[in-house]
Amino acid sequence: MVENSKRIEKWNFPHCIGALNGRHICFSAPISSGSFYLNYKGTDSIILLGLVDAQYRFIYVNVGVNGRVSDGGVFGASLRSKKMRDGSLSLPEPQCLPGRITKVPYAIVADEAFPLLTNLLKPFPQRSLSYENRIFNYRLSRARRLVECGFGILANRWRILLNKIHLSPEKVESITLKSIVLHNFLATENIRYTEGIYETDFDNTLKQIAQQVGNRSSALSQEIREEFKNYFLSDLGSVPWQDTAVQRGN
């Protein structure tokens, strides 16, 4: 728990449960499947949807959906999404951010492909971004690198995931899940496994934010995002480098 707290402090995003994103696991699909597994890049794949914590461990995965489906689509059809929407996901009770008076829920951070929910934060749309909204997007994008780091460590340690796998979809799914189990074991038992890896160039993240994919969100979800934004702009919530980082992202 102490190590996890240190990593959360390093990422400067309180109330963050973890970062969510998807990754394509490429393989040679059977001819009989046609274009069922064909993704937007023109290769056959299944999707690994992963939620990564502050120690780069996968605390939730959804593996096996065909590559034609978007990350947001995989999440939308998942049990995790249902539980987040109906409030049945076991999360800590909402609390105030440091120095603030409004209670906000603990939340997952994700990119613009996902919906904005009370427990799922995504960037503000790129169009007509105010300076304050750019600050929020930078801070969220920086925290979101957790999942990219997790994917990078996983694939580079278990390098079969870097190349096209010439096996059936079922075996590719099994290999992916077993790789994650080994990854989590090493990330928990051996701090050097993830120490100092994939933790550079975080100030360049604004350039990686793509145009928002339309998802309607509730007024409450938007209010929660506004409270996080106001915290990041406050004396207690701001970090010394965020202004420079945002200006460099222009």
Q: Where are the domains of the chain?
A: 2-248
The pLDDT of residue 250 is above 70: no
pLDDT confidence tier of residue 107, bands split at 50, 70 and 90: very high
Q: What is the pLDDT of residue 128?
A: 79
- pTM listed for this prediction: 0.86
Specify the pairing of strand 45-52 against strand 95-96. Answer: unpaired
Mean pLDDT of all residues in 233-244? 91
Q: What is the pLDDT of residue 31?
A: 93
The pLDDT of residue 82 is above 60: yes
**pLDDT tens column, 39-54:** 999 999 999 999 999 8
**pLDDT tens column, 113-169:** 999 999 999 999 988 789 999 999 999 999 999 999 999 999 999 999 999 999 999
Mean pLDDT of all residues in 199-222? 51
Q: What is the pLDDT of residue 217?
A: 58
